[in-house]
Amino acid sequence: MTQYQIERNYGCRVSDAWTFRGLKTAVIENELIRIVVLIDKGADVYQFVHKPTDTDFLWRSPWGVRNPSVRIPTTGYGESLWMDVYEGGWQTVLPGGGFPSRHMGADMGLHAEVNTVPWDAAILEDTPDVVSMRFWVRAARMPFFFEKILTIRSGSAVLEIEARLTNEGEESVPCVWGEHIALGAPFLSEDCVIDLPGGTLINEEGDDWHPNNKLKGGFKGPWPMSRLKDGTPRDLSRIPPKSFRSYDMSYIADMPDGWYAVTNQKTGVGFGFRYSTDVFKFLWYWHSFGGGFGYPWYGRTYNVGLEPFTSFGNAGLVGAVENGTALLVQPGETVETSQRAVAFGGASRVSSISPDGEVTIQPLA
């Protein structure tokens, strides 16, 4: 491993010689986008910045980045342990998504377990035309090895991701795999609209699962129309203001293609994500529009999570196993998939995102 690399101030750049709040950190950038990855904290994507407009799409939690290795938890509850160090942004969720549960004798905390631990990382390519980094980790409580390669190219606002999940065990093991992407203000506002290619919208079960949930529990219907608890129609493609004070959870199933985009129609700037519906069969939609009162938000948060997941429901790995949507990985099997995250401008709406991340926009008037 070389101690120093050639430094550039143009074209594509990559460096893992950074530390943020005690965490080894990588910066990957070109002329259009900057990606900051917290290597020592789940290889979380902490920043996704569109440079021409100085727009960071990713939401920050009220407490921001905390180093898990220097904290002494005051309780051992699986939800609080994760929340204590949740900075917002974008996590890879493995091998259990949703609330704590136990399966095959393994305790899985909230969105456990790989996004609260340090990963290994290496720079694969470093030229003005293209830069690439590999990040990898082994889960402690289940026999999974996971790796992802992040690449950007000169002149492109696309982050290319190649991901591989391997079961190193000698028996079949189920898991939940998700990309937990949370977008926030000031990019996010009531000027924002969500575009995606369609599907079946499903609200979280129960009318009173949260003090401020407003959507009709268990409602199913074609995207984007839902209903409030009193029966009023609600268009979920439109982001409400924080004054709406809602806190809800929905899921989109049976999507004909794997992409979504969030566009701020006032600025024309947007964020898009492309993924495979063969692997990620559900898009989780976390509505946190000022209604998260009590622990841990206390009314402070305004963000949206649009999160491709292999599995359905927020009841953890056990819930996914019971409803038949857990990803079952055979001994020695590797699941591979490609993803593309992209920043774009000059848009009013988005019509599609291609497998290579090309965005087809409806331009601003």
Which of 108, 254, 251 minimizes the C-alpha distance to 175?
108
Mean pLDDT within 257-276: 98
**What are the pLDDT digits (tens) for 194-213?**
999 999 999 999 988 899 99
Please state which of the ranges 63-72, 148-157, 240-249 shows the lowest mean pLDDT.
Answer: 63-72
Q: How confident is the model at residue 260 (pLDDT cuts 50, 70, 90)?
A: very high
* DSSP per-residue codes, 282-343: EEEEEEEEB---STTTTT--EEEEEEEESS--SSHHHHHHHTT-SEEE-TT-EEEEEEEEEE
Q: What is the pLDDT of residue 13?
A: 97
In a domain, 274, yes or no: yes
Q: What is the pLDDT of residue 243?
A: 97
Percentage of the residues of the chain whose pLDDT score is greater than 90: 93
pLDDT averaged over every residue in the chain: 96
Q: How many residues does the chain have?
A: 365
At residue 78, the pLDDT reads 84
Beta bridge partners of 283: 252, 308
Please give the tally of structural domains in the chain: 1
Residues 142-148 have a mean pLDDT of 98
Give the residue-averaged pLDDT of 268-273. 98
63 falls within a domain: yes
Report yes or no on 116 lying in a domain.
yes
Q: What is the pLDDT of residues 212-231, one digit of tens each?
A: 999 999 999 999 999 999 99
DSSP state letter for 169? S
| Confidence grade of residue 71 (pLDDT, cut at 50, 70, 90) | confident
CB-count exposure of residue 200 (10 Å: 0-12, 13-18, 19+): middle
Percent of the chain with pLDDT over 70: 99
In a domain, 351, yes or no: yes
Residue 1 covered by a domain:
no
Nearest-5° angle of CA 246, CA 112, CA 257? Answer: 65
Gap between the Cα atoms of 305 and 93, Å rounded: 13
pLDDT value of position 2: 56
- The answer to whether 32 and 40 are in contact (CB under 8 A) is no
The answer, yes or no, to whether residue 75 has pLDDT greater than 90, is no
Whether 341 is covered by a domain: the verdict is yes
Q: Give pLDDT tens digits for 305-349.
A: 999 999 999 999 999 999 999 999 999 999 999 999 999 999 999
Q: Among 71-75, 155-159, 190-194, where is mean pLDDT lowest?
A: 71-75
Q: Which letter does DSSP use for residue 345 in this model? A: -
pLDDT at 7: 87
Domain that holds residue 349: 13-363
3: in domain: no
Q: Given a cut of 60, is residue 1 above it in pLDDT?
A: no
Provide the CATH number for the domain around residue 269.
2.70.98.10
